[in-house]
Amino acid sequence: MDLPTDFYCQDIEIIKDKFNDKTTYTHKKLAGIDFSRIDVNVEGVGLTTFYFLHSNAAHNTCVVGERGFYILFDNGQKIEKPEAELKVDVNPSGKSFVYSTIISLTEEDIQLLLNHKMTNKRTYIFDDVICLDDAEILQEYLRCLINR
């Protein structure tokens, strides 16, 4: 079944911060990943847009103070962020630990995310598979954020 081009754009959440004239656009997580776009007025520059990738991954081993986040694509290319800081929390179920990170996306990262499917992600030493359906929907969410 073919969906309308902007089908997933209806899922974009918009949060306006009246105190600092900032608007954040985001969507629900898939495969522990979501993207966000932040529009903010920077003094002397004007309206500036930033894009971020947020990732969560649950694993049974607790490791604190480590770094690194990586994404593999279907064409063999990678996004490598070895200095990405990781936050570790106890899963509310108490049976695992949740590793989270936020990375700023470059134009090169964005083009890779738009033009190729993610297949895997690595948070420090913990690997997770990203299924094709989730990878395709995440691409559409990112496309929606960019085209706003």
Please provide residue 37's backbone torsions phi and psi, each rounded to the nearest 5 degrees.
Answer: -125, 135
Indicate whether 2 pLDDT > 80.
Answer: no
For 15, phi and psi rounded to 5 degrees? -125, 120
pLDDT in tens, 68-103: 999 999 999 999 999 999 998 887 777 888 889 999
Task: Give per-residue pLDDT as tens, 16-46.
Answer: 998 888 999 999 999 999 999 999 988 888 8
User: pTM score, two decimals?
Assistant: 0.90
| Neighbouring residues of 137: CB distance < 8 A, sequence distance ≥ 6 | 8, 30
Q: For residue 107, what is the enclosing H or E element? A: helix 107-115
CA separation for the pair 81, 71 (Å, rounded)? 9
Distance between alpha carbon 73 and the CA centroid of its chain, in Å?
Answer: 14
